[in-house]
A and B are shown apart, each in its own frame.
Chain A
Amino acid sequence: MRLSQIFLPVGLSILVACFAVSAQRTIGTAKLAPPATVSVNIETIDTAGLKALITKQKDKPLLVNFWATWCIPCRDEFPDLVKIDGEFRPKNLDFVTVSLDDVGDIKTLVPKFLAEMKATMPTYLLDVKDPEPAINAVDPKWQGDLPATFLYNEKGQVVFKHFGRVDSAELREAIAKLVKSH
């Protein structure tokens, strides 16, 4: 068999597979899980409350995801986050999400989306007139781009952070290291 007969199909297969992965990521943005009967309780939180949430003494690692229903990559990554919650909460991970939706959406768009996602992690909705102090309280280097994900160890130190759609494998790896050492 000539070399070209081996390499050509292999190379083409890699290329096709990669395009398929890329296309799937794009198409996947519009898909949502079917509505579920999940009761979702969402509380508002201000800058002081947010600061307390991330700096308080923890007895277990804490994952915080900032998102909004209007943010497409936030919606895209949410199914992965729900799976991570289901997988790691029993292993002592605390996971809360903070919605940056309008306060007027606290009883409509936000719980509807969480129910569709079958999300049960505690969710807060940031209720502030000026978002800047809240952004800086979380991370002075954060410009406010969504989504944003932060993982804290029990000492309250950030051990993983990501702005934009998070890589599920990277996040899992970081969580696994923490819950293992806990």
Chain B
Amino acid sequence: MIDGEIILYLVLIFSALTVTGLLLKEAKGYEHLMNYIPWLSRISFALLMFDILLLAYYFITSDFTIMYVWQYSSLSLPLSYRISAVLAGQSGTLLFWSFVIYFASIWIAETHRWHNSIVRKTQIVTILCGMFFVVLTIMESPFSTIYAVNPELPATFVPADGNGLNPLLINPWMVAHPPLVFIAYGFATIPFAAAIVNLLTGDARWESIARPWSRITWVFLTLAIAVGGLWAYLVLGWGGFWAWDPVETSSLIPWITLTAYLHASSGYRKNKGTFTTGAPLLAIVSMLMIVYAALVTRSGIFESVHAFGDSSSGTMLIVFMIISLLAGGIPVVKRFFFEEDYPGENIDSSSVKGICSTSTLYYLTTVLFVILAFTSFWGITFPALIQQIEGVKVGVGTEFFNIWGYPAIISLLILTGYCLHREDNITSRKMALIVTVSATILFAFIDIDPAFHVMDHTNPFWTAQPPLYKLIGSVSLLSLFPPILYVLAVTIQRIVSDLRSATLSSRALARRTGVNIIHMGMVLILFGAVMSASFTSTIGASVPTGQIGDYVELEGGYGLKITDYRIEGGPGDRITDVKQNPSAYPVAGITGTVSDIQRAGIFLIFKLNDGSDSIWIASKDVEISPGEEVSVSGSIMHDFESSSTGQIYDYILFTENVVPAKSEDETSWKVYIEVYKNGKVMGNGMAEYIQYKQGDATHPMVDRSLTKDVYAIFQGSKSGNIPLTIMIKPFVNEVWIGVIMFTLGMILILGSELYFKREVHSDKLLNTISKEYQKEGK
């Protein structure tokens, strides 16, 4: 057997050789080294790729002698989930993370044909980061055998089956989520490495290396967060997509700082004299926050849905953060306090100076993003700190993030509108700003609904809030609408004027449209999030199984009809129990072996035996054969005489669904629902509750439309009632549309640069910038 762990050591050796070679080349200028370095680097990448494929192979072939495979896979798992289970635990994700870093490192080197010194320097830092994650992977080795973990196991022992994947992860969105997360995390290494190079050497070309990677990272991180939220919405049955739990929040922090970086670096790009500390610092902070997110999900300080368990990698991640902080922090402090910015700091041709100059507004934007990121960071950090230090639990709920985030968000929105407003006449630009700000302040006092405030006034904690919370909490959410309309109007005006413009090149048009679409997307996301969080109606219902098929009146003009109710798989109800007391089973679910198949007109009648007893089943004509294992559910009749067969059946179960029996470990309850409002159907679908060997999963019914989601949670029933929680959630889909706009907008921006890729990336341009920057005598 090939040992994946030995290969990881080989990766380390080849990487160390690559880094040494690159350092020698940079320091001493040994040109002939460049004959070997690319190959050393390619070999370490190839070895790592082999390792990831090897682990996938172990999963595909269900090799349960590998501890990691045993932990997260089982024979009953379909192939696609067996492959996705490679990223189900932390050692697998660490291996994948290292792989992505090496991929990025080899990609920048190959696309620049190893000729560029800034690329080589960036590669040194990238590979060092990659090596760090390889060491982490070795510590958590995904390749450990069960014999190494449990020395008392005899060498001949091979587990018959694996422990299986957490049922909550058996979902298509969860196949997509981990790769998106770790591709984003891995790609963020390049801007980070380039920023470190800039801070240590002062090389101004770092931004053009970091640019495409920071944008791709941003796209992947956006999608990763969105898919995670969508999964929570569709699988957890929490009834929402965002719960401000430490895991979700920790992934949002690097997103905010990366967004800040994108703004800062765009300022830096336009004038190399501005954001000389801000831009590299934000690239580094984004990476640190990514490592922090990894720490949050796995160190054991916090625990959440990502219950990966305790791990020693936590300490190593803290070490990584400290080293990066020192490597980046010392030059930042030096640059910030001892070097002056350029005097000609304006980043556009506009004549406005002072506080309203574009560069100052850009600066204010990044500062607001940093404040927003810090409130989120502090919200998940200080409770953990207090608990560690004082052993006291502190409650930090949704209202904390709403209250502290709101001032920054509203300021950012207004600033966005003002910055994007394209108007030659400065007076009318200022007028628009003044009107928006006045409307915002005015609307802050308009109370249209107790729930529609920064802090929900129907929240039982509302009256007990401290004065500061009450002050911000009593602001009406209506105040969000003037800035939202402002940004919308301004972006639409920009799009229209860009499309009309005859002078704009197609590249510039694509880029500007991308920028406009992204800002519109932001507005839609805020709108959807605020509306769905404030105006969700929740209706509880409990329908007796006897009323299946009947219309049930609910509060508030709502109504409900359960059109079907099925129990599939699992051991089901025991036939002896059902026969003893049929009235206790209005709907019985039975799994057993088929025998004695008879035809009776349009019906098929057969016997089902579950080991305890046997019972007759009547169903529509289906393809079954004797000896087959099937599950049925339906109602039971006693002493039924069939006119077709002329036989009297003591107990017969009428069913509409005969399905192949799933494994005994899995039972699923399905409710088919129609939801009514004032007598009209407003949504329908199926809500499911599944019990697996390792736990359970709730799949709510979601009927989507542009204005609302009709959402119904069903959490299983063991009595004669079917309990349901129905939620009407307005404008949830605007959030997902916003996310799609984020992605499309950024793809347009990336595409516009790719179109002119040669020009942007050519060494000629890099060298020009380099000369300029030397000329400036920096």
Task: Please say whether chains A and B are actual partners in one complex.
Answer: no
Chain B positions near chain A (C-beta within 8 angstroms): none
